[in-house]
Structure 1
């Protein structure tokens, strides 16, 4: 990387060393390509360019010296709202399609069509089925699973007026959605309708478009992602606390190293099962390795970390750098957040990239397609490839830069409630007493525009100092875990109240609750607390933040948090600044409509102050002392 010192790019030693090594070996990374893209298109950054039809492309001049309307007549407000709506639709579609994949696995299990998957948590199956209106008395687990699958498949359609998990939403929040006309009706329906609305000549009212964006996001947060979370628990097991390790130090110089990358546990669970098979361990030893080491990247890694204790090698901006270690045989990719550049970088070493999904192919990668009927067999094929690839490793190019750091994981809502004696009562008492002043969900990605992990780590550390409990998902897990915040000992860095609670329960002040679809756990927990208190979610002393986000999914997550009543701080502005109307709506108007709004604050210390002020105001309104 030329032009910037590595300590300006990341706070992490393992990242900095690998960026330097990439430079020494003339390997192009995400930071190099970001520099090559400068300057970014100002129209696109502001959301003022439109390519929705071929009368254009069009652009609106933000300084009023050029065109103020597109060829069709759309002004800045409409162009920005349409672009943002399509961004939200893509994000919702991604997470919801993940949910559909899990639903198809559940159906295959119920129908006896797959020997490779099962029902790891039948008790949760029955609990969710009862919640969905399935009578479970006198039925075996497979029959219950069939009926639950049928109901949840209907949530993806267009004939219902409501969705299954909306029963979890506080009544006061539902009434707000009804008043605004944003109660989500069907997961696919809302996404398709957004694509229809944003076609030229359909919805040309910026407010109407923005309201439907909220509806689309809610169909993800309270349905698509929630389906993915709950069914992952049923099929693979509901997480409970355990410890593991994180950073590039989890790679082993004398092992075959396989990394799972993407978002779906459907693939990674089968790869892990094959890697643990004694037959393949013996084959790895025959090839000269001490064994087989599986580690995670991004959210697929989070899934295995939560349930299996598989160590985490890194988050989004580490996915290229892990190859630069020279110690990786195979990266197994499913879908989402996988840079096409990985294939090129792998080609500079002995490494292989293996794609596994028909909907996510990568030119130059080895494609081993997995489905519910062949997953175990194909997982074994992946591991066999990794062992053969190990034989080609150039040991002189291997550099594992650091020792791993321990972290604690597995804090599903069930695990949190179990730690509290089975009810949210003790948590509420700690909040009322001011020992826990509030809760913040810190989520989201890395973005090369921001110094890696700087925003996420510092915001989390500042929040726990202020007795604010932090929940993390996805890439934020690795950002905070690498800095030691996901171990009980980190309670020493927290304020006195939060430290007391953490020490009493033996938990960290930053709790890992899952992958990015598992933000639905945070939504459910907020709803549970609001229902327990008889208030709306917007009345709670809670907040959300995405300090280093980059993806459409993250925009959708932020919007469903706000639409659910949760104040949300973004470290990067979304492409809406070209419309004063849409910007004012996002940062102020949504407060009047939904009881929450966005703030954009790249400085994590200033962001922590915004969160603190919000929590203080909500505590005061509830009559709680500071």
Structure 2
């Protein structure tokens, strides 16, 4: 007996019986096998931080009230949360470091990557107060790299420069007063691990403030830094049109899927797949189709128009189609089960990074220096795999949706400039002020097998846009909403409220589209949440108010990764109400739960809002937006 429907995606529902008949175990099967899951872990009241444990607190009060060392539920829950958020921040900072290194080597001419967006490079340099006049592009790039490395080499008390140069100044003053301005991001992550070891911090309030600091590490030394570097190297996204869902796969093509998060490799694969089309034709295929899963998919979608296959939870089912010749992975959100699934088919799973290896996968080492060679080898491996494909095992569901993506902040401002070239933000602000746009909600993050795949994303957003809330989306949330038809002009006609529809129609016509903009703007991958932060910062600066006062909120409808918790924590530090549609492991401590959902508002402006029902969550976010509008003296 299934605990809940697996998905609302018809392509997924069509493939699950095939997986079963092919003898493939999926994430949903493994979830059912885990039932009942550990209640202590779900509440966050178990601790294994030292070898005296594991210890657990009885949430009902009949058993142990403290661990061996004396830590109670409040301390254990707060420590566990801080460690999770620090891990999420570490993932994004490590990603950012890789791209900074790439920009350095590209500027020195030591690797075959170009600096694609000189205008973005100059904007970033000017924001960092770097003098650019009289300097070559390479010299400016190296100066930007030096500034990025300076944060990672900071051994003093100076706050991180990337934060100080890009965050809203009202927020910076608040964070300084709370003592949570991060310095060297690596030092802050190390300190969080130290702070949560046995015999250290026993104050849940202090631990929650340390968690807020990790959110800032993630937001600026992870998300913002990575996005800036990637835009400089690969170009700032502009609107592109493509398709999403498993139906984008083509039976008569070599299907090569890129999966993971960092575009350093996937950009090269897209390039070499185009160059090696003739080799695919000689092998009997019509050509090579590159498509994407998770955030690597979002990255090459935004810049190259590469179609999206699916999001996190259905990554195994892409292989179950029998049409995927190779899936190449870099880092993050990669299920170890992929090789077991692939063993039932001809699919090659190819790992590329030294910190991500899977038994049974081919490993083709990727470095910046050998990027072209590795990409060519991967593409040729996919072509070779195609010749071994069993046509009897191929079944591609005929589900795909047209999507418009590529809405970087620069692209949004560009579209608004067609309405008011002299003051591009004015049309957006005017329509928020007059109530045509009630507010803005950013939906981000993952799928979680504990809920029906995509359901919370889709139902939440459907209610928001019906009530004239503009939605921007990243990560696997963007995949879910693309598959559901919210990222094309038809979505505006079908789902948007009258005020929102009028605004999107006017901008679309002014931009020469001949149709409205989509009701959900695709802003990119998980690290591209920094684009949402940039937009919030720009609106706050325009209105000369603290970002905590804006009618803006965030939501992670189906969070599952530690990165989602760190991104959400950053959003809260920005002063935003941040919805989580899956309960995080904090309910074992009433004190910590109240701090996160109520107490933080008093000191930091934002808060977490937990609601597992999509309709109630949407109404809660709308009420929050209306309350902020009232404080600003706006109608609605």
Please indicate the TM-score interval, normalised by the length of the shorter structure.
over 0.9
Is contact 2:10–2:399 with CA below 8 Å preserved after alignment?
no
CA distance in 2 between counterparts of 1:403 and 1:526 reads: 35
User: Which piece of structure 1 moves more, 323-332 or 153-162?
Assistant: 153-162
2:320 is aligned with 1:319: no
Look up the SS of the partner of 2:149 in the other structure: helix
Look up the SS of the partner of 2:354 in the other structure: coil
Look up the SS of the partner of 2:331 in the other structure: coil
Q: How does 1:325-344 map to 2 (within 5 A)?
A: 325-344=321-340
CA distance in 2 between counterparts of 1:66 and 1:172 reads: 46
Q: 1:258, CA displacement in angstroms? A: 0.2
Partner of 2:513: none
CA distance in 1 between counterparts of 2:194 and 2:398 reads: 50
CA distance in 2 between counterparts of 1:501 and 1:57 reads: 56
Partner of 1:542: 552
2:10 is aligned with 1:10: no
User: Which piece of structure 1 moves more, 329-338 or 51-60?
Assistant: 51-60
Structure 2: gaps (5+ residues): 509-516
Is contact 1:157–1:187 with CA below 8 Å preserved after alignment?
no
Look up the SS of the partner of 1:81 in the other structure: helix
Q: 1:495 aligned to 494, 497, 502, which one?
A: 497
Q: How does 1:233-272 map to 2 (within 5 A)?
A: 233-272=231-270
Q: 1:269, CA displacement in angstroms? A: 0.6
Partner of 1:77: 74
Look up the SS of the partner of 2:527 in the other structure: helix
Q: How does 1:420-439 map to 2 (within 5 A)?
A: 420-421=416-417, 423-439=424-440
Partner of 2:486: 485
CA distance in 1 between counterparts of 2:118 and 2:563 reads: 30
Partner of 2:506: 504
Is contact 2:346–2:388 with CA below 8 Å preserved after alignment?
yes
CA distance in 2 between counterparts of 1:623 and 1:371 reads: 54
Partner of 1:384: 380
Question: What is the RMSD of the two structures over their aligned residues, measured on CA atoms?
Answer: 1.1
Is contact 2:2–2:32 with CA below 8 Å preserved after alignment?
no
Is contact 1:250–1:404 with CA below 8 Å preserved after alignment?
yes
Measured against aligned partners, the alpha-carbon deviations of 1:303-354 in whole angstroms (never above 9, x if no partner) come to 0000000000000011000000000011010000000000110111000110
CA distance in 2 between counterparts of 1:196 and 1:110 reads: 37
Q: 1:223, CA displacement in angstroms? A: 2.4
Q: 1:557, CA displacement in angstroms? A: 0.7
Is contact 1:108–1:114 with CA below 8 Å preserved after alignment?
yes
Q: 1:272, CA displacement in angstroms? A: 0.9
Partner of 2:220: 222
CA distance in 1 between counterparts of 2:216 and 2:521 reads: 24
Q: 1:476, CA displacement in angstroms? A: 0.8
Partner of 2:30: 33
Partner of 1:415: 411
User: Which piece of structure 1 moves more, 352-361 or 377-386?
Assistant: 352-361
2:611 is aligned with 1:601: yes
2:87 is aligned with 1:90: yes
Is contact 1:263–1:300 with CA below 8 Å preserved after alignment?
yes
2:448 is aligned with 1:447: yes
Partner of 1:295: 291
CA distance in 2 between counterparts of 1:156 and 1:541 reads: 34
Q: How does 1:364-403 map to 2 (within 5 A)?
A: 364-403=360-399
Partner of 1:560: 570
Q: 1:132, CA displacement in angstroms? A: 1.0
CA distance in 2 between counterparts of 1:170 and 1:290 reads: 51
CA distance in 1 between counterparts of 2:616 and 2:340 reads: 39
Measured against aligned partners, the alpha-carbon deviations of 1:103-152 in whole angstroms (never above 9, x if no partner) come to 0100111121102x110101111110111121110000001111110110
Partner of 1:183: 181
Q: 2:534 aligned to 524, 541, 545, which one?
A: 524
Partner of 1:616: 626
Partner of 2:590: 580
Partner of 2:511: none
Length-normalised TM-score, structure 1: 0.98
Runs of 4+ residues deviating >4 angstroms:
none
Look up the SS of the partner of 2:528 in the other structure: helix
CA distance in 2 between counterparts of 1:484 and 1:529 reads: 28
Partner of 1:128: 124
Aligned length: 620
CA distance in 2 between counterparts of 1:481 and 1:34 reads: 26
Structure 1: gaps (5+ residues): none
Measured against aligned partners, the alpha-carbon deviations of 1:71-102 in whole angstroms (never above 9, x if no partner) come to 11111111111111100000000011111111
CA distance in 2 between counterparts of 1:476 and 1:403 reads: 18
CA distance in 1 between counterparts of 2:224 and 2:127 reads: 13
Measured against aligned partners, the alpha-carbon deviations of 1:417-461 in whole angstroms (never above 9, x if no partner) come to 111116322111111111111000001100111101100011111
Partner of 1:203: 201
Look up the SS of the partner of 2:258 in the other structure: strand
Is contact 2:107–2:115 with CA below 8 Å preserved after alignment?
no
CA distance in 2 between counterparts of 1:477 and 1:171 reads: 30
Measured against aligned partners, the alpha-carbon deviations of 1:348-387 in whole angstroms (never above 9, x if no partner) come to 1000110111121112111111111000110000001001
CA distance in 2 between counterparts of 1:607 and 1:156 reads: 39
Q: 1:168, CA displacement in angstroms? A: 2.6
CA distance in 2 between counterparts of 1:354 and 1:123 reads: 35
Q: 1:171, CA displacement in angstroms? A: 2.4
CA distance in 2 between counterparts of 1:29 and 1:202 reads: 41
Partner of 1:23: 20
Look up the SS of the partner of 1:258 in the other structure: strand
Q: 1:4, CA displacement in angstroms? A: 3.0
Q: 1:179, CA displacement in angstroms? A: 1.6
2:355 is aligned with 1:359: yes
